[in-house]
Homo-oligomer: A and B are copies of this chain.
Amino acid sequence: MARKSASPPGRERILDAAEKLFAKRGFYGVSLRDITQAAGVDVALVGYHFGGKRALFDAVFGRRAEVLNRERLELLNEIRLQARPGTPSLEAIVHAFTYPLLERSARGGPGWKSYFALVAYVNNSPEFGPALMSQHFDSLVARFIAVLREALPDVPPQEIYWGYHFLTGALTLTFAETGRIDKLSESLIRATDLDSVLERLAPYVAGGFRALAARAAAKASSPRAARRRRPGKTASRKLPAPGPQGS
């Protein structure tokens, strides 16, 4: 199990430094010179080990993904066994989905912290998001969604996908830890307080799923009135004159 145990070889040091810098400033905000200088190695090593900047980025993103997915899958199977012969609660499912991530971001060390900030960047990027997130996480996500569907058997699948979409948005903004919420709340809460997120995200999302389920059921029972029912008069309100033109 133990290798040389000295300081990590150049390849790993490049990955660590790249992870930290990509997380802070994105793919284009960092040069290979920044990265290799932080890693204490020569620029040319990136070409040797990875092939180029983009390939390095992919390697950074992929490195920790499999570890996480294995762990999350184990946790998912665990709660399914515990819930037998029924299905786990929505809270338990969402918890199994988010706990390994939040736990590592909170206490996994700075490398993990950077990694999750990088995930926040990638998930919200039109350029990198679909390819990288799908490649590394969709097979796991599909399993979670399957369990959510078992737990909400009468809910149309679209609702589950929308509910997941909102969940991943809330989760990845959390990972970014921008500190905006600290200022907004006058330091009443802190973006770095992931234990508070861990306690709240599962109930919040479960409540959201139940609301979507109720909405879909109501709509199915009286499809005619459904369009006018929900948010009252403001639903189809016209907007005033456009500001800067939409060109």
Q: Give A contacts to B, CB under 8 Å.
A: 8, 12, 15-16, 23-29, 63-64, 66-67, 71, 75, 78-79, 82, 91-92, 95-96, 99-100, 103-104, 108-113, 117, 120-121, 123-127, 129-130, 133-134, 138, 141-142, 145, 157-159, 161-174, 176-181, 183-185, 188-189, 191, 196-197, 199-212, 214-215, 230-235, 237, 239-240, 242-247
Contact B126 A117 (CB under 8 A): yes
A-B contact pairs, 25 of them (CB 8 A): A8-B247, A15-B244, A16-B247, A24-B126, A25-B127, A75-B237, A92-B231, A99-B231, A108-B242, A123-B180, A124-B173, A158-B188, A158-B196, A159-B200, A161-B184, A162-B200, A166-B170, A166-B173, A167-B170, A169-B170, A199-B215, A200-B215, A206-B211, A207-B209, A208-B208
Interface of A, secondary structure class, is: helix
